[in-house]
Amino acid sequence: MSREKSFHLLRTTVALVIAMLAAFAVIFMVSDTPIESIRLFILGPFSKPRYIGNIINTAIPLIFSGLSMAVVFQASQFNMGAEGIFYFSGAVISLIAIWVPLPVGVHQVVIILAAAVIGALIMLIPGYLKAKYGASELVTSLMMNSILLGLGSYLMTRVLQDPMASNGSYPYLDTAKIPVIIPAFKVHYGLFIALLCVAAVYVFLYKTKWGYEIRMVGINAKFAAYSGINIVKTIIIAHLVSGAIAGIGGSVESIAMHTRFEWNGLPGYGFTGALIAMLANNNPVSVIYAALFVAYLSTGADIVARLSDVPAEMSTILQSLIILLIASERFLHSFKQRWMERGIAK
Amino acid sequence: MRELINIIFTAQFLHSVFRVTTPILFASLGAVIANRAGVANIALEGIMLISAFFGVFGSAATGSALGGFLIALLSGLICSGILALFTLYYRANVILGGIAINSLASGGTVFLLYLFTGDKGSSTSVASKTLPEIAIPVLKDIPFLGDILSGQNIMTYLAFIMILIVAVFLGKTTLGYHIRAVGENLKAAESVGINVKLTQTIALLLSGLLCACGGAFMSMGYLSSFTRDMVSGRGWIAVAAEAIGRSNPIITAGASIAFGFFNAISTAASTVGWASSLVQTIPYVSTLIGLFAFSYKEYLKLKKR
């Protein structure tokens, strides 16, 4: 491993430790039984097979959103649109999952492909506006999130809503569902789809011309332009790929974890995806570990919230803190200097 | 449609335009000051949310609206101070730092809300105070115009006065000159002895104070309690308004008022029975279109050269 890479690993670890310590401090301040709460937070997620399965199932959508963010981040594009796409693709594919009868296998594939197309088309808007006209993709994608939420809930109330269900769509057809692999853990087959996507994004980013161009534009757009890379095209491709992954994520999450469409608001995967991409240094393979770690944190926070007196939002606070530390170039900077210099001296 | 047009020409509707413009205006002026110093403040949304929260709980703790307002200002100051610390001194990416503050605000306020009230939705159980509405003598007696302009919340008047204050501050004061110099050419400003980091820090803090005014208005004027994620995108709309106004306080204010108008339309349209889920998207659609139109114009200008 190069010194640069091992430094990134070290820095990430230190940031995580500091964030965990901060979480303990918060627990000590708010909990009546702090030691017990901390024990639940740390060890709770491993105490039952169901909880371990829960970590993996929580990690699956996070792998998709992390990958989606990693692709746009690699091109230095700050697009937070994965959030809205997760929700909206979930709503639209519900139409297929409820009303289009197809054989098992084909049904899931059609749903996932449709979601990928929807996601890519949605991302085309902020992507094109940024690449061609320079409109801030951060702002346009956030506006799109709110618009998609409105469109999705319109679809829900006008079409999907089951009058017999208190708050959900008509149930999905059985042929559309993604089954669980091992019943005791309740882990579903979406895991393999997520891993497949990781492999595909890895190959795309590191073994194809387009992937290379995306990374070059991300490192230095001006230089990339001088060396003949079409920046407009590259930025749009990064957005399309990112949108397709987010769309797939939304559809897999819907038909694997739900029996009907029941999201009332944006599910929050977009922001967490940004965190995961950062933890993973935008590397698709590392996204898996980062997603598992964040899933572990939020499972721990959920358990503490259920069995103790600390609200589950603690995991959001933790995540924000981790982002702040990792995003800080100067964090552990003097250590990095010495570490790199020693490497050169050898 | 006719019903909606009828509503638009009522004094009540025009009164509401000023009301809903207020938080956007405060935040966009905050964005102007930060951007003029060369640091994009992406955390407007989060700072507003946090100060909305502390305004409510501050006013309940001190038993006075003024106390709540001051605590809201303090919380906005601390928040933007943290942002300045990480982005300027620890060199965090401005956008990622802002995203972190926004999410900290969203999760942190719900966390604290639950601790204080046992409720994750709103603070209605807390006896908080609201900032006063002011009837302006003479003006209030003029028909129609009085109904529109008088009786607004004190923060609404403050927001519109702030347009001038910010314009004068940036254009005529020494600190304002320094801020603009740093934003336009960092190296040149440094070479004439301006403390760049300090100037940028001050700009971020001022921007935080303006956001805090917007946040305090949200929970102590616009509504009389705190509800989760109550800022709901207004900070981002302000970012767009600032971009369209190209950091000019007057034009930015104009863009904010335009977005405020669409915000008010959205509320009015839901009262005449349009599908609320679609109507709620009007402010965001208008922002998207506004930003597109602005970028397209800039693009054409660049192309001509």
Nearest CB to A328: which of B86, B115, B275?
B86
For residue A242, the model assigns a pLDDT of 96
User: How does residue A316 score in pLDDT terms, banded at 50, 70 and 90?
Assistant: confident
- Mean residue pLDDT of chain B comes to 90
Query: Same domain, yes or no, for A107 and A5?
Result: no
Query: Could you tell me how many CB contacts below 8 A there are between chain A and chain B?
Result: 143
Residue A7: is it exposed, middle or buried by C-beta count within 10 angstroms (0-12/13-18/19+)? middle
Highest-scoring range by mean pLDDT, A109-113, A188-192, A265-269 = A109-113
Report the alpha-carbon distance of residue A136 to residue A129 in Å, rounded. Answer: 8
pLDDT of residue B21: 95
CB contact, 8 Å: A279 with chain B? no
In percent, the amount of chain A with pLDDT more than 90 equals 39
Q: Does A18 touch chain B (CB under 8 A)?
A: no
Over 80: is that where the pLDDT of B36 sits?
A: yes
Report percent pLDDT > 70 for chain B.
100
pLDDT above 80 for A309? no
The phi-psi region of residue B126 (left if phi > 0; otherwise alpha if psi is between -120 and 50; otherwise beta) is beta
For the cut 70, the answer to whether the pLDDT of residue A1 exceeds it is no
Yes or no, beta carbons of A153 and B277 under 8 Å apart: yes
Contact A153 B284 (CB under 8 A): no
User: Each residue of A53-91: pLDDT tens digit?
Assistant: 899 999 999 999 999 999 999 998 988 899 999 999 999
Residue A111, in any domain of the structure? yes
Are A115 and A210 within one domain? yes
Q: Answer yes or no: do A117 and A262 share one domain.
A: yes
Q: Which 122-141 residues of chain A touch chain B by CB within 8 A?
A: 129, 132-136, 138-140
Averaged pLDDT, B121-136: 87
pLDDT at residue A163 in the model = 84
Q: Are residues A337 and A268 in the same domain?
A: no
Q: Are residues A208 and A263 in the same domain?
A: yes
Q: Does residue A41 sit within a domain? A: no
Local structure of residue B227 (DSSP, 8 states): B
* Averaged pLDDT, A46-58: 89
The torsion angle over the Cα atoms of residues A303, A306, A307 and A308, rounded to 10 degrees, is: 100
Residue A44 lies in a domain: no
The answer to whether residue A330 scores a pLDDT higher than 80 is no
| Domains parsed from chain B with CATH numbers | 2-130+137-304 (1.10.3470)
Q: In this predicted structure, what is the pLDDT of residue B68?
A: 94
pTM for the whole structure: 0.89
Over residues A177-201, mean pLDDT: 89
Mean pLDDT value of segment B74-84: 95
Whole-number pLDDT of residue B210? 96
Which pair of structure tokens corresponds to residue B38? 């060369």
A43 residue type, one letter: L
pLDDT the model gives residue A58? 92
Same domain, A70 and A95: yes
Q: In terms of residue numbers, what domain contains A71?
A: 49-299
Of A114 and A325, the structure prediction assigns the larger pLDDT to A114
Q: Dihedral of CA B82/B88/B92/B95: which sign?
A: positive
Same domain (yes/no): A85, A16:
no
Is residue A36 in a domain? no
- For residue B178, is pLDDT > 90? yes
Closest in B95, B236, B284 to A78, CB measured: B95
| Mean pLDDT of the B214-231 span | 93
Q: Taking the CA atoms of chain A, what radius of gyration do you get in angstroms?
A: 21
* Residue A121 sits in the same domain as residue A190: yes
- On whether residue A331 sits in a domain, the answer given is yes
pLDDT, tens digit, 9 for 90 and up, residues A278-295: 888 899 999 999 999 989
CB proximity A154 to B under 8 Å: yes
For position A16, what pLDDT does the model report?
86
Q: Considering the domain boundaries, does residue A122 fall inside one? A: yes
CB B106 within 8 A of CB B88: no
Determine contact: A67 vs chain B, CB below 8 A: no
Q: At residue B203, what is the residue type?
A: A
Q: What is the pLDDT of residue A346?
A: 63
> Contacts of residue A311 in chain B, CB cutoff 8 Å?
110-111, 114-115, 120
Mean pLDDT of chain A: 88
Question: Which CATH number fits the domain that encloses residue A127?
Answer: 1.10.3470
Q: Residues A238-263: pLDDT tens digits? A: 999 999 999 999 999 999 888 888 88
Identify whether residues A140 and A195 lie together within a single domain. yes
Cβ contact A19:A322 at 8 Å? yes
Q: Which of B90, B284, B296 sits opposite A328 (nearest CB)?
A: B90
A9 assigned to some structural domain:
yes
Instruction: Give the three-state DSSP class for B291.
Output: helix
**Regarding predicted confidence, which is higher, A319 or A3?**
A319
A305 found inside a domain: no
A218 and A157 in a common domain: yes
- Whether A31 and A310 have beta carbons less than 8 Å apart is answered as yes
Shortest distance between the Cα of A176 and any Cα of chain B, in A, equals 28
Q: Do A136 and A24 fall into the same domain?
A: no
At residue A151, does pLDDT exceed 90? yes
Taking only the tens place, the pLDDT of each residue in A83-125 is 999 999 999 999 999 998 888 889 999 999 999 999 999 999 9
| Four-point Cα dihedral B64, B65, B69, B71, nearest 10 | 30
Chain B 100-119, CB below 8 Å of chain A: which residues?
100-101, 103-104, 106-108, 110-111, 114-115
> Shortest CB distance from B97 goes to which of A138, A142, A327?
A327
Q: Which residue of A has its CA nearest to B110?
A: A313
Nearest alpha carbon to residue B283 among A265, A139, A305: A139
> Per the CB < 8 Å rule, is B93 touching A321?
no
Q: Do both A327 and A235 map to the same domain?
A: no
pLDDT in tens, B104-115: 999 999 999 998
- CB pair distance less than 8 Å for A139 and B100: no
pLDDT recorded at residue A89: 94
Amino acid B227: pLDDT: 93
Strand boundaries in A152-258, DSSP class E: 180-182, 187-188
Residue B81 has pLDDT above 90, yes or no: yes
Exposure class string for B44-71: b at 16+ Cβ within 10 A, else e: bbbbbbbbbbbbbbbbbeeeebebbbbb
Contact: B275, A154; criterion CB under 8 Å? yes
Q: In this structure, are residues A69 and A277 in contact, taking their beta carbons and an 8 Å threshold?
A: yes
- Number of domains, chain A: 2
What are the structure tokens assigned to A96, written together? 């297929």
